[in-house]
Amino acid sequence: MKGFLNEILRGLRACPKYLPAKYFYDETGDRLFQQIMSSPEYYLTRCEYEIFSLKTPAIADLLQSHLPLFDLVELGAGDCLKSRFLLKELVHRNLSFTFYPVDISANVIEQLTQTLPEAIPGLKLHGLNGEYLAMLEKARQLSDRPKVVLFLGANIGNLEKDQTGIFLAQIRATLKKGDLLCIGFDLKKDPDIILSAYNDKAGLTRAFNLNLLKRINREFEADFDLTAFKHFPVYDPVSGACRSFLISLKQQRVNMKTAGESFCFEPYEPVFMEISQKYSRDEILALALTSGFRPLTTFCDSKHWFGDAIWEVDDK
């Protein structure tokens, strides 16, 4: 909670202004993201769903051929829509493992704990509510089995390119040689397809971004006028960065009682909200190598729009 306020303040005091996308996910944010995932424009989830619905036996074979025994940790588990294919398959194969879903949303972990063991009889689940690295460390303390870490949904795309290698190296540092990482990347494709995924006709992504202002209003007694900001996503086909901004439509001052501070916005001043980085195959391979992993294989959907790469923790 303290971290939340401090990060919000840092972002609003900065020039140019930004807000951290990880705070999108309050109860309303979770619901909006669910709706985004089933919107016609947001292809990512459907592509990765296709991979897991069709290729789970091959994925399970690969995991088992590298590790006879392991626990499964999923970073940013959400509703486990895709990973439940793998969980079912592994339970079916009578593999003894514990599933540690990690999520920043307490709400999500509560839901999973209630529903997943019912949906998959025999599943051992231990939910971890918190940030990725801290919870990965926690899972390590709870069990010394080798780990298979799932990081799906292109969540890695929420990091700036220069932070991605650092983050992956941090993940690697919490793992042991031979541990596996299954990581989902959204691939570079027709820019129009990418851009419309972040600018859906129903306005879900717009509401998703504005909801963070609403959350700040509620939790920190602020007075953001949600009608005075415009959702504006851009995609750079060279870097592969898709960025969402909220643009202040007028000169305005926003007060935040909890912080005893106010923030001025110029007309058309942007607030950077989120990056959703897209990757080429070569960029994915290079990323594995620079962060201390050995790429084993990548599973793709039939359109080649999305890839789930499997990497092995390499020697130091």
Residue 205 as a binder of ligand AVJ (CB under 6 A): the answer is: yes
Considering the complex, state which of residue 43 and residue 97 has its C-beta at the smaller distance from ligand AVJ: 43
Helices 2-13 and 204-220 cross at an angle (nearest 10°) of: 110
Q: For the chain, first and last CA: distance in Å? A: 36
State whether residue 220 is helix, strand or coil. helix
Q: Does 155 bind ligand AVJ (CB under 6 A)?
A: yes
Q: How far is the CB of 204 from ligand AVJ (least distance, A)?
A: 8
Q: Is 153 in the site for ligand AVJ (CB under 6 A)?
A: yes
Q: Please tell me whether residue 158 binds ligand AVJ under the rule CB under 6 A.
A: yes
Contact between 274 and ligand AVJ by CB under 6 A: the answer reads: yes
Bridge partners (DSSP) of residue 253 are: 264
Binding mask 251-270 for ligand AVJ (x = CB under 6 A): --------------------
Residue (45 or 259) nearer to ligand AVJ, CB = 45
- Here's the x/- map for ligand AVJ, 28-57, by CB under 6 A: it reads as --------x-------x-------------
- Both tokens assigned to 43: 């292809």
Closer residue to ligand AVJ (CB): 154 or 181? 154
H or E element at residue 308? strand 306-313
Secondary structure (H, E, C), 84-123: HHHHHHHHHCCCCCEEEEEECCHHHHHHHHHHHHHHCCCC
Q: With beta carbons less than 8 A apart as the criterion, state whether 71 and 98 touch.
A: yes
Q: List contacts with ligand AVJ (CB under 6 A).
A: 36, 44, 153-155, 157-158, 198, 205, 208, 274, 276
